[in-house]
Amino acid sequence: SSIVLKSMPKKILRRWLPDPHKIVESRAIRWMGPLIRDPNLFHINRASISASFFIGLFCAFLPIPGQTLVAAMLALLFRTNLPVAMALIWVSNPLTFAPIFLFSYGAGAWLLGHEVTTFSIELSWDWAVAQGSTIWLPLITGSLFCGLVSGAIGYVVIHRLWRWKVIKNWDARNKAREKKSAEEN
């Protein structure tokens, strides 16, 4: 946490994010050519990172396989920071997906005015088809709602924290200049 308080957000992210040139030149992505070479996909600024937080958190709530691919496509479409958007979908991971989707299901049932149904989960196609009519609409509705809300909260929090930190650093530099100027006179 001391790193967060002492460094600019841009400096912190540069330490954590992979080098854009390495990403662009990797075999897995190189085939995308000019599309992936757009510098906006790797910009570290308040607007790009805030939008990437929205995309990543929104996609983390989608109850589908391939959340990373969806986040990448949205980052490409909106030309936001690709690595941040793709990393944030890992909010939904093997340890958190069950509570996230249960909460989303409950939120969707509440939004639709449905009663929450108790059910046991089986990882089979037959179970998915049998339970589909009961849980899919509330799950998808709740997931979209929770994704939009968490994405919006992430966007606003990052946008405001970034702005606060820039202003704080600006004020500290101005005070240091004033102090130095007063000492010289």
Mean pLDDT by 10 residues, the chain (185 residues): 50 65 61 64 86 97 92 92 91 91 95 86 76 86 98 96 88 85 79
Structure tokens at 94: 């093997």
Specify the pLDDT at position 142: 98
CA distances from 36 to 30, 40, 41, 73, 178 (A): 8, 9, 7, 11, 45
Domain containing 96: what range?
A: 2-184
Structure tokens at 52: 């990437």
Instruction: Please state the domain count of the chain.
Output: 1
Specify the pLDDT at position 3: 44
| CB within 8 Å of 48: residues ≥ 6 apart | 40, 80, 81, 84
pTM of the model: 0.76
CA 142 to chain centre: 18
Specify the pLDDT at position 4: 44
Orientation angle between helical segments 125-184 and 9-16, nearest 10 degrees:
130
Q: What DSSP string runs through 118-139?
A: P-----SHHHHHHHHHHHHHHH
Measured on CA atoms in the order 51, 52, 53, 55, is the torsion positive or negative? positive
